[in-house]
């Protein structure tokens, strides 16, 4: 059976996220954006890291046939990859290209956001006075 000329070839992406001490970060959000010539970045896939800091195995198109555009098809083969985690600065890699049947592995080390509020200890407990209406 002959292959279709319009068949989309797929590449793959795995992401691993650590903190500055090499400890895996769970629940980091990985977003893959396609570069759209009309609106800039458009998110196409989102995943969350597991307890080992590993993302789901993403499947990403490597190229597109511009003569067969339906609806909101994607136009380019370059992507931006963004990693976000609560309490850490975000990281982003721009202009990533994927190749057919190849798994790309990106490793990120996120840096913590230092929270310094004068007079506030984040582990501080405050006891409110009892209510005047208690009997």
Mean pLDDT of 31-44: 81
Model confidence pLDDT, tens digit, residues 53-68: 999 999 998 875 555 4
Is 117 within the bounds of a domain? Answer: no
Model confidence, pTM? 0.71
**5 occurs within a structural domain:** no
Average pLDDT over residues 15-26: 96
Report if residue 124 sits inside a domain. Answer: no
Cβ atoms of 59 and 79 closer than 8 Å: no
- What CATH number should be reported for the domain holding residue 16? 2.60.40.1120
| Backbone angles phi and psi of 68, in degrees to 5 | -125, 55
């Amino acid at each position: 059976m002959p292959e279709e000329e319009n068949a989309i070839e797929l590449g793959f992406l795995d992401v691993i996220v650590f903190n500055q001490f090499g400890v895996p970060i769970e629940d980091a959000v990985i977003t893959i954006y396609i570069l759209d010539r009309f609106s800039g970045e458009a998110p196409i896939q989102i995943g969350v890291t597991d307890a080992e800091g590993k993302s789901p195995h993403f499947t990403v198109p490597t190229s597109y046939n511009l003569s067969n555009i339906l609806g909101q098809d994607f136009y380019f083969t370059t992507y931006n990859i963004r990693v976000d985690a609560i309490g850490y600065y975000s990281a982003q890699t721009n202009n990533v290209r994927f190749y057919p049947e190849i798994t790309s592995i990106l490793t990120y080390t996120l840096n913590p956001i230092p929270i310094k509020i004068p007079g506030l200890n984040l582990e501080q407990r405050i006891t409110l006075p009892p209510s005047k209406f208690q009997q």
